[in-house]
C-alpha cells in the first residue's frame, strides 16, 4: 500500500532560502533602530513585520487568518483536514534587539511552504505558519501574551492591569489599537485548541553559547526553562547612621540580597547535581 505521508517525507524539496534572505533584509531596513532593531509589542515595528509576512503569504496563495489578539495564521492546505503542523514564532523584539530573534521561526515556515508551492506539492496535513504577538515581556510585564491568547488563556484582569513600558498603554488599549477584539480575548475565546495541533515547531536562534561551544549548527530542544517570576519581590532594610549603628543592629538590605543571591546559586548547583535546573 502506498503511503502518501511516507512518500512526501522522503521527497527532497528545498526551502526557499532566497525568500528568507529577502524578508530578513526588509525587516532590518523597515524596523532598524540606532542599534539593532526595535519591534515593540503591539507597536509600529511589530505591525510592519506582520504586514510584511502577510503580504508574502498572500502572494503564495495561503489562507490567512487573524485571531482576537492579532496573532496571524498563514496556512497551506493539506491532503487531509485533520490536525495540522504549525511552524512559527514571534515578530516583536526587545528594544534594540536582534533581527533573527523570533523572526527566524516565521521566515523558516514561509520558506518551507514556498518551496512546496514551487514544487507543486501538497503536504499530507495542513501546514500553518503562526506569527505570534507580544512574546517579549520587556514591553508588557506578562509572559507569553500572544500564545496564551491563542488558546484562550489570557486573563481579563491582565488586559486592564498590565501596561506597556515607556508609554503606559494598557494591554487592552494596545490590542484594540492593533485591530484586535478585546472583548473576545477577555471572554477566553481562543483560536487554537490542543487537539487541532498535531505538531508545533518553533525554529529559533540559539541565544546562548551551547551550540557554538559544541561547534554544532542545529539542536533539538527537549526541555526549556520556565518563566515563573516574582516581579514584586522586595528586600527591605532600615536607614541608620553609619557612625553610630553597630553591625549587629543594622538591617542592611544590600547584604541580605547578596546572601540571597549566593544561596540561590548554591541551590542551583544542588539542582544541577540532581539533573534539574533553574533560570
Q: What is the pTM of this model?
A: 0.84
Residues 65 and 197 in one domain: yes
Instruction: Flag whether 229 is in a domain.
Output: no
Q: Identify the helix (H) or strand (E) that includes residue 73.
A: strand 72-76
Q: What is the pLDDT of residue 5?
A: 63
Q: What number is the average pLDDT over the span 168-173?
A: 96
Q: What is the pLDDT of residue 9?
A: 66
> Domain of 45: which CATH number?
3.40.630.10
Q: What is the pLDDT of residue 149?
A: 97
Residues 241 and 162 in one domain: no
Residues 72 and 206 in one domain: yes
> How many domains in the chain?
2
Instruction: Flag whether 188 is in a domain.
Output: yes
Residues 112 and 142 in one domain: yes
Examine the pLDDT at 79 and tell me if it is beyond 70: yes
Residues 159 and 279 in one domain: no
Least reliable range by pLDDT among 89-93, 100-104, 230-234: 230-234
- Beta-carbon-side half-sphere exposure of residue 200 (alpha carbons within 13 Å): 14
Residues 91 and 195 in one domain: yes
Residues 207 and 241 in one domain: no
Instruction: Flag whether 227 is in a domain.
Output: no
SS3 90: strand
Three cell numbers written together for 251: 538591617
Report DSSP state, residue 85. E
Spatial distance between the Cα atoms of 30 and 47, rounded to a whole number of angstroms: 11
pLDDT band at 189 (very low <50, low <70, confident <90, very high): confident
Question: For the CA atoms of the chain, what is the radius of gyration?
Answer: 23
Q: What number is the average pLDDT over the span 18-32?
A: 96
Examine the pLDDT at 229 and tell me if it is beyond 80: no
Examine the pLDDT at 15 and tell me if it is beyond 70: yes
Residues 241 and 121 in one domain: no
Mean pLDDT, the chain, integer? 92
Place of cell 488563556: 153
Instruction: Flag whether 176 is in a domain.
Output: yes
Instruction: Flag whether 226 is in a domain.
Output: no
Q: What is the pLDDT of residues 250-266, one digit of tens each?
A: 999 999 999 999 999 99
Q: Which residue spans within 77-221 are E strands per DSSP? A: 84-90, 127-132, 197-201
Instruction: Flag whether 228 is in a domain.
Output: no
Q: What is the pLDDT of residue 71?
A: 98
Examine the pLDDT at 224 and tell me if it is beyond 80: no
Residues 183 and 248 in one domain: no
Residue-range definition of the domain harbouring residue 251 = 234-279
Three cell numbers written together for 6: 511516507
Spatial distance between the Cα atoms of 6 and 279, rounded to a whole number of angstroms: 40
Residues 133 and 252 in one domain: no
Residues 278 and 174 in one domain: no
Instruction: Flag whether 204 is in a domain.
Output: yes
Instruction: Flag whether 219 is in a domain.
Output: no
**Cβ partners under 8 Å of residue 117, min gap 6:** 60, 61, 76
Residues 242 and 210 in one domain: no
Name which of 49, 15, 12 is nearest 30 in CA terms.
Answer: 49
Amino acid at each position: 500500500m502506498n503511503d502518501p505521508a511516507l512518500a512526501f517525507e522522503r521527497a527532497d524539496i528545498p526551502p526557499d532560502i532566497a525568500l528568507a534572505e529577502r524578508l530578513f533584509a526588509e525587516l532590518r531596513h523597515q524596523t532598524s533602530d540606532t542599534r539593532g532593531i526595535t519591534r515593540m509589542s503591539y507597536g509600529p515595528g511589530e505591525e510592519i513585520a506582520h504586514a510584511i509576512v502577510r503580504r508574502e503569504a498572500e502572494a503564495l496563495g495561503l489562507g490567512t487568518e487573524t485571531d482576537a489578539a492579532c496573532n496571524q495564521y498563514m496556512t497551506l492546505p493539506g491532503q487531509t483536514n485533520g490536525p495540522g503542523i504549525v511552524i512559527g514564532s514571534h515578530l516583536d523584539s526587545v528594544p534594540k534587539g536582534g533581527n533573527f530573534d523570533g523572526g527566524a521561526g516565521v521566515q523558516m515556515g514561509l520558506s518551507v511552504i514556498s518551496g512546496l508551492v514551487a514544487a507543486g506539492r501538497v503536504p499530507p496535513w495542513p501546514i500553518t505558519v503562526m506569527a505570534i504577538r507580544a512574546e517579549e515581556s520587556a514591553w508588557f510585564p506578562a509572559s507569553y501574551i500572544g500564545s496564551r491568547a491563542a488558546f484562550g488563556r489570557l486573563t481579563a484582569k491582565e488586559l486592564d492591569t498590565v501596561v506597556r513600558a515607556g508609554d503606559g498603554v494598557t494591554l487592552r488599549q494596545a490590542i484594540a489599537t492593533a485591530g484586535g477584539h478585546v472583548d473576545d480575548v477577555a471572554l477566553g475565546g481562543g483560536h487554537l485548541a490542543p487537539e487541532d495541533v498535531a505538531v508545533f515547531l518553533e525554529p529559533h536562534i540559539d541565544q546562548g553559547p551551547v551550540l557554538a561551544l559544541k561547534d554544532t549548527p542545529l539542536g533539538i530542544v527537549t526541555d526549556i526553562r520556565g518563566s515563573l517570576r516574582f516581579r514584586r519581590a522586595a528586600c527591605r532594610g532600615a536607614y541608620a547612621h553609619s557612625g553610630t549603628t553597630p553591625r549587629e543592629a543594622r538591617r542592611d538590605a544590600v547584604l541580605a540580597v547578596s546572601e540571597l543571591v549566593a544561596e540561590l546559586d548554591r541551590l542551583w548547583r544542588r539542582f544541577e547535581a540532581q539533573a534539574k535546573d533553574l533560570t
